[in-house]
Amino acid sequence: MSLSPHSAVPASDTPAELIRQRLGAETIDTENWNSALEAMLAHRSVRSYLPKPVPDDVLRLGIAAAQSAPTSSGLQAWSVVAVEDPARRAKLAELASPNPQILSAPLFLVWLADLSRLRTVAVDNGKAGDGLDYLESFLLAAIDASLAAQNAVVAFESLGLGTCYIGGMRNNPIDVGAVLGLPPESFAVFGLTVGYPDPTVATDIKPRLPQSLVLHRETYQLPLSPVALESYDSRMQEFQAAQGMAVRGWTRVMAGRIADAAALKGRDRLKEIVRAMGFKLK
Ligand SMILES: Cc1cc2nc3c(=O)[nH]c(=O)nc-3n(C[C@H](O)[C@H](O)[C@H](O)COP(=O)(O)O)c2cc1C
């Protein structure tokens, strides 16, 4: 499968084919197709990289895209730490284990929900900044960081790089904070590996739920369609078989991931940890 020079999209994938891989039999008229849609619909997480550094201008273009994302009330309550040093990446990989792609990717971006800068701004303006003490502000910062990061993902992918989010940053947030020298009221919501994909490791487009389950018109549609879920399970089984993964479908795997507090693998204690990192979450 040959890749086009400017994207991770196989040159042969037509718009209809990209939609088929993502949504199965559902068809959407692609008359309004464009390169932005192509970049987003061709997305796949990349977990194997070439040992080729990411040029600084490419990093800075990706961050410029991130900075161009909408931000709640203009607060820009996020920051990002770019980590290239192999020893520091190894420490973070250990804290987010098992995510070996943090070692394989030359660049690891750690995205922060960051209220620390706003606290300083408040104090410099003679205010306590008590508005930062509420759950709303933490949520807002996490939303801002997520929107920024996803803009960067689309930008990097459009430049032929691959990425993979790393939620494992939340396995040991206090230790991650120590490795990165984070100030109070900043929290690593996730990491993002960035690099040039290893072309010898094929990564296919992962199917998503049928639109009938996610797109509600006017009001939320219930009951949940068992037929739609079953059809998605079948598509995921086909994908898993083609990728050489354990064939388990989707519903069973997801039910396991949310079965109980233990399934969160330590992240069930996040509220206390986030409070220990300076957020009040009132
Ligand atoms: C916030 C977030 C955290 C994630 N954390 C991890 C992770 O720790 N390790 C990993 O391999 N993939 C991680 N992923 C990638 C998802 O597994 C992946 O996006 C999902 O399976 C869909 O596959 P796709 O991105 O190839 O379409 C994460 C994705 C998101 C959005």
Task: Give pLDDT tens digits for 30-57.
Answer: 999 999 999 999 999 999 999 999 999 9
Average pLDDT over residues 231-246: 96
Average pLDDT over residues 72-96: 98
Per the structure, the complete domain to which residue 82 belongs is given by 45-199+266-276
The answer to whether residues 81 and 153 belong to one domain is: yes
Q: Check pocket membership of 199 for ligand 1, CB cut-off 6 A.
A: no
Average pLDDT over residues 261-274: 96
pLDDT score, position 12: 58
- 23 token code pair: 């949504």
Distance between CA atoms of residues 163 and 195, nearest Å: 7
Q: Check pocket membership of 190 for ligand 1, CB cut-off 6 A.
A: yes
Closest CA to 136 of 73, 184, 190: 73
> Cα–Cα distances in Å, from 257 out to 218, 233, 250, 252?
31, 16, 11, 9
Instruction: Count Cβ atoms below 10 Å from residue 32 Cβ, excluding itself.
Output: 8
Instruction: Kindly report the protein residue whose alpha carbon is nearest to atom 29 of ligand 1.
Output: 165
Whether the predicted pLDDT of 27 surpasses 70: yes
> What is the reported pTM?
0.95
Q: Check pocket membership of 44 for ligand 1, CB cut-off 6 A.
A: yes
The answer to whether residues 74 and 191 belong to one domain is: yes
Confidence of residue 1 (pLDDT cuts 50, 70, 90): very low
29, with CB counted inside 10 A (0-12, 13-18, 19+), is exposed
Taking the CA of residue 203 as reference, the ligand 1 atom at the shortest distance is 26
| 240-261 tens-digit pLDDT | 999 999 999 999 999 999 999 9
The answer to whether residues 56 and 185 belong to one domain is: yes
Q: Is residue 193 part of a domain?
A: yes
Could you give the percent of the chain with pLDDT greater than 90? 94
Given a contact cutoff of 8 angstroms between Cβ atoms, the answer to whether 176 and 89 are in contact is no
CATH code for the domain in which residue 154 is found: 3.40.109.10
Whether the predicted pLDDT of 2 surpasses 50: no
Distance between CA atoms of residues 118 and 215, nearest Å: 36
Q: Check pocket membership of 167 for ligand 1, CB cut-off 6 A.
A: yes
Instruction: Kindly report the protein residue whose alpha carbon is nearest to atom 3 of ligand 1.
Output: 167
Ligand 1 pocket test target in 9, 45, 110 with most atoms within 8 Å of CB: 45
Closest CA to 84 of 113, 44, 52, 43: 52
- 165 token code pair: 């989010």
Closest CA to 84 of 53, 40, 43: 53
Given a contact cutoff of 8 angstroms between Cβ atoms, the answer to whether 71 and 40 are in contact is no
Q: Check pocket membership of 197 for ligand 1, CB cut-off 6 A.
A: no
| Least confident residue range of 8-17, 119-128, 168-177 | 8-17
| 98-110 tens-digit pLDDT | 999 999 999 999 9
The answer to whether residues 37 and 52 belong to one domain is: no
